[in-house]
A and B are shown apart, each in its own frame.
Chain A
């Protein structure tokens, strides 16, 4: 990995910090959507049972909403093409965007954790499990959502299509994250079982990079 790659990551993080409204809208959407679930049931004990699923569903939707801003702007102002002309490979563009997006998601998520703790009335131990889960599963999530926004960057009705195309690929992730979370809570999880989330990441990474490369080349034709 050369120095240029780190410059690229730095550029993405700088853009992200300049567009602070993205972080703000992500956090607000996450809080409001979680609150809707809390208000939709009278008994908080029901919410407490499903808190992991709620957090993951809300997280997926909020990431999908944010990911569009990352690529659409770059595509519309031509900087995506420019980066390729400068000699950055499609893979490095995609990885740098994913890293920036992951930082953008994880930092607000860490600040929002006390709210999750209060809203869903979970224990500190359950919160710990949730944070580990989020930390290990969100890299794959960001890669998939970047890929989905690449698919829909040239479409007008892109949001709906983006959701339909990519949601099936989130299903295995949801299954494994919630099941490891449940095992963790019941104290039945061996530490190495969290490794399955890292395993999913190592499957997602090459698949997303190869597909991302092909799509980016197609976009710039």
Chain B
């Protein structure tokens, strides 16, 4: 299945079919999610209305890590199998991941002021998330620094693989060090320490962000495919 999609033209045709569907689902889920966030969930007994920032902050944080994992996976795939599509996906993911990370840091900062009394603290979770943003920026810079795109892809893949070290640090920083940031409320191995009335809008928002990410990614991958086609046409004209 994956290898049959390795042909960018075939993948482009698939994108054209999927992209409008995912965008529509994202918009519908976002509207439902926002309704639940503002009207369908109660304020927190301690934090009051400010807890609603969670519905943006937490999905953004999850996606900042998930997108980096996708980049890292694509990078390994690209180095091992020399898969063009993996390069295209990883290149397209970097700016989206950077935006999600920035949104995490900004929303966290806005949430931090009323809850912790400060916009920013240099604790392990916040610092490692900031490092993730800098790594994303590094990837974007590498992707645009080389004239030869295949070389840029290869170098950014290597950098992305090195950056994997940061992912477990972000994930378990709240357990390894004593931080101001709270530990994870939703865990795979235990029942969530969050009420179901808050959990539902959180999941709806997460799925909305997921479909939004997929649709933006597909648009960017299509753009990359078209750009590479243009480059090939230009090169052929120059040769002839």
Q: Give residues in A with beta carbon < 8 Å to B.
A: 151, 154-155, 157, 161, 164-169, 171-172, 175, 203, 207, 211, 214-215, 218
B127 touches A171 (CB 8 A): yes
Interface residues of B in 45-63 (CB under 8 A from A): none
Question: Given the interface contacts A154-B151, A167-B134, does A211 sit within 8 Å of B158 by beta carbon?
Answer: yes
Max chain A Cβ within 10 angstroms of own Cβ: one of B137, B145, B154: B145
The answer to the question of B162 belonging to the interface, with a C-beta cut-off of 8 Å to chain A, is: yes
Interface CB pairs A-B, < 8 A, 9: A151-B142, A154-B151, A161-B142, A164-B137, A166-B138, A168-B135, A168-B138, A168-B166, A214-B158
The answer to the question of B159 belonging to the interface, with a C-beta cut-off of 8 Å to chain A, is: yes
A214 touches B141 (CB 8 A): no
List chain A residues, Cβ under 8 A from B145: 155, 157, 161
B134 touches A161 (CB 8 A): no
Q: How large is the interface on B (under 10, 10 to 19, 20 to 34, 35 or more residues)?
A: 20 to 34
List chain A residues, Cβ under 8 A from B169: 172
The answer to the question of B131 belonging to the interface, with a C-beta cut-off of 8 Å to chain A, is: yes
- In whole Å, how far is B179's beta carbon from the nearest beta carbon of chain A? 13
A211 touches B141 (CB 8 A): no
Interface residues of B in 144-164 (CB under 8 A from A): 145-146, 151, 154-155, 158-159, 161-163
List chain B residues, Cβ under 8 A from A165: 138, 141-142, 159
List chain B residues, Cβ under 8 A from A157: 145
List chain B residues, Cβ under 8 A from A203: 165
A151 touches B155 (CB 8 A): yes
In the complex, A167 Cα to B135 Cα: how many Å? 9
- In whole Å, how far is B214's beta carbon from the nearest beta carbon of chain A? 28
Max chain B Cβ within 10 angstroms of own Cβ: one of A169, A203, A214: A169
B interface: dominant SS: helix
In the complex, A37 Cα to B198 Cα: how many Å? 51
Set A161, A207, A218: member contacting B154, Cβ < 8 A: A218
A155 touches B146 (CB 8 A): yes
In the complex, A165 Cα to B159 Cα: how many Å? 8
A214 touches B165 (CB 8 A): no
Encode B165-194 as 1/0 by CB contact (under 8 A) with A.
Answer: 110010000000000000000000000000
A211 touches B162 (CB 8 A): yes
A218 touches B134 (CB 8 A): no
The answer to the question of B79 belonging to the interface, with a C-beta cut-off of 8 Å to chain A, is: yes
Chain B, Cβ-Cβ closest to A221: B151
Closest 3 CB pairs of A and B: A168-B134, A165-B138, A168-B131
List chain B residues, Cβ under 8 A from A169: 162
B146 touches A211 (CB 8 A): no
B138 touches A164 (CB 8 A): yes
List chain B residues, Cβ under 8 A from A154: 146, 151
- In whole Å, how far is B29's beta carbon from the nearest beta carbon of chain A? 34
In the complex, A162 Cα to B134 Cα: how many Å? 13
List chain A residues, Cβ under 8 A from B166: 168
- In whole Å, how far is B95's beta carbon from the nearest beta carbon of chain A? 15
Question: Given the interface contacts A168-B131, A168-B134, A171-B127, does A215 sit within 8 Å of B141 by beta carbon?
Answer: no
Interface residues of B in 65-121 (CB under 8 A from A): 79
A218 touches B162 (CB 8 A): no
A211 touches B131 (CB 8 A): no
List chain A residues, Cβ under 8 A from B127: 171, 175
- In whole Å, how far is B159's beta carbon from the nearest beta carbon of chain A? 6
- In whole Å, how far is B158's beta carbon from the nearest beta carbon of chain A? 5
